[in-house]
Amino acid sequence: MPDNCLVSLSDIHVHFPVQKNWLGQVKSTAHVLNGIDLDVDAGETLGIVGESGCGKSTLAQVLMGLLQPVRGSVSWQTAGAKPTIQIVFQDPQSSLDPRLPVWKVITEPIHIQGGHSRGQLRQIAADLAVQVGLREEYLDRYPHEFSGGQRQRIAIARALAPNPDIIVLDEPTSALDISVQAQILNLLNDLQKARNLSYILISHNVSVIKHMSKRIAVMYLGQIVELGHTSDILQKPAHPYTELLLDAVPDMTGSLAMKGPVDLPELPGNRHLPSGCFFYDRCHYRDEKGCHLAQPLRRLSAEQEIRWVRCYKNIYENSIRAVSTEVGV
């Protein structure tokens, strides 16, 4: 494991039994994660993109230790000293306990661990409130008394309380007004610099990913199909699915909406996985030569960049996007 790496996921598989017969026997299985390999480095923001249902939140749950993979391993930087990992959800309304005043909401994760007096917890809440831009006098109010943006600040303070190394941000701004989104993203960037935090940023919004992440992982049907530096991938996608995602039209909020039903078959289910390339049914570039084979994540050979792609064809070299840029279209 490289020195800078905090946690490394290797060949992670997660399955859920989805149907049982009257004897309680499993009749069908959802294959939600299907061989995820991923390193998270100290102080980085790793963006995770992909359609609804591709397994982004499930991956977060594996990292948080809330789900045990059926296969594969999660290795932390130092054996026995697992970095602390916290999560911030999309909807702070439902993730904050409405019965608790804000100072208790913020300090709940460390209160559970024990060892702090009430006065100490209150002081910790006051310090964190300042760091996330909330006034100290708000600490005795209840979550419903705040705006969406303020509630997300409370959720961020709460995630910071156990002094984590990694925070998973699962669509952290998608429930917020556009003007508030930018404030929250800037706050997250400032906190990252001040605390050398790593973020795993799950988002449908390409402009959010572009603003925040140096690297992105593109997920499809529980696999990473492309991994590399954000600027490289946004400029020249190398996997047909990434190309499709980037061609999708952003809606009014800047979120990605798929291009629509135009020659795009329905997302295949995860009950019966394809034996060859998972993207075969929807791929404009498919052929009968190599696409029927399972596709490993291969390193793309290109100068000065690190890129991994799960496709045996190199559409990067023939990228329509790149060609049209060159001819100035």
Ligand X SMILES: Nc1ncnc2c1ncn2[C@@H]1O[C@H](COP(=O)(O)OP(=O)(O)OP(=O)(O)O)[C@@H](O)[C@H]1O
For position 52 contacting ligand X by CB under 6 A, the verdict is yes
Choice from 5, 30, 267, 297 touching ligand X (CB under 6 A): 30
Q: Please say which residue, 188 or 309, places its beta carbon nearer to ligand SF4.
A: 309
Subset of residues 239 to 298 that bind ligand SF4, contact rule: CB under 6 A: 240, 277, 279-280, 283, 285-286, 291, 295
Q: CA-CA distance, 97 to 316, in Å (whole number)?
A: 47
Choose the stretch contacting ligand X; rule: CB under 6 A; options: 49-57, 140-148, 302-310, 318-326: 49-57
- What residues contact 32, with CB distance under 8 A and at least 6 apart? 14, 15, 16, 55, 58, 222, 270
Contacts (CB under 5 A) with Mg ion, residues 26-65: 56-57
Q: Residue 277 binds which entry of Mg ion, ligand X, ligand SF4, none, with Cβ cut-offs from 5 to 8 Å by kind?
A: ligand SF4
149 or 228: CB nearest ligand SF4: 228
Closest listed residue to residue 216, CA positions, set 192, 194, 238, 184: 238
Nearer to ligand X, 16 or 312 (CB): 16
**206-209 contacts, C-beta under 8 A, 24 or more apart:** 206/49, 206/234, 206/246, 206/250, 206/254, 206/256, 207/250, 207/254, 208/173, 208/181, 208/254, 209/47, 209/49
Could you tell me the smallest distance in angstroms from the CB atom of residue 67 to Mg ion?
13
CB of 45 to ligand X, least distance (A): 18
One-letter identity of residue 73:
S
> Smaller CB distance to ligand SF4: residue 92 or 237?
237
What is residue 82's DSSP assignment?
P
d(CA 24, CA 206): 43
Binding site for ligand X (CB under 6 A): 16, 18, 30, 32, 52-58, 270
